[in-house]
Structure 1
Amino acid sequence: MKQEASHFEEIYQANYPRVIRICRGYVNGDEQLAKDLAQEVFIKVWRCLATFRNESSIATWIYRITVNTCLLQLRKKKYHNNAKALETYSETEEEEGPSKEKQLKKMYQCINTLSEENRGIILLELEGLPQKEIATVIGFSHEAIRVRVHRIKNSLTKCVQNDGI
């Protein structure tokens, strides 16, 4: 049991920063909800770790759990339709600051206008996950992911540049 806990702790430490960032991206920056979702992800990892089949890397498996957990939350709460939550989050941040920070906020606002699938793809891409792994996590072919990433990036660039959220 002690060895299992130690192994889980290593997995947790290695993957938590990415999991929390992905969760934050899905919930429009709501830090508390992102932490709750990340906790739920790691509870699932703990419960299912013994049944992990090593068909992919453990990180890919955890990303899949993260994406599924976040999508389930969005469906339950219809969080993605709540534009007021995004506006409230944006308004609480100080308006003054470096333009790079404003562009980053704008980019995340634009990301939140994407479909659930596209949002998942681009959040994993932003995490630096190789496109082949994203294809495994999302369940698409590598070629489909390459095309989607390209289209999503073009769409986000236009959105950020044109203030068109």
Structure 2
Amino acid sequence: MPETEFKQIYNDNYARILRLCMGYVSGDTDLAKDLTQEVFIKVWNNVKTFRKESNISTWIYRIAINTCLISLRNKKSKRFSDTLLTEDILQKEEATQIKEKQYQDMYRCINKLSATNKGIILMELEGLAQKEIAAVMGLKHEAVRTRIHRIKNQLTKCVNHE
């Protein structure tokens, strides 16, 4: 199809297709213009397949309706996935805030411990072996093991406000 012929088809149908698209997108002018442009790209790419069994404007309307429906379907599924994504982000954010509060409570309670017990539990939280903690603190391994058990009980009560 020559470009001049396409321009004539475009000029004859643009306003009607834009109005049709506006109806599908509830008056969103930018989206309607995008869809109208997409329609005419499809017309340009597929005009060779037009069988001339109906008026070309009827064929263009069919392309426009299908384009708008596909766009709405994609927009709905995107909105649904965006909603799920937003809910997922909010849940993760809430979980993070809860964890942060728990850590703050735990460290508040750790700060109430004696210097020795505080050192022991902080090394335990860092993953040091109890034998290493005993060597650093100058205590026997059994004493450190017993203290860690008592400190954990004390911290649990403190964090739970008992």
TM-score range, shorter chain: 0.3 to 0.5
Question: RCO greater where, 1 or 2, for CA within 8 Å and sep 6 or more?
Answer: 1
**Given the two structures, how large is their TM-score scaled by the length of structure 1?**
0.46
Q: TM-score, normalised to structure 2's length?
A: 0.47
**Higher Cα Rg: structure 1 or 2?**
2
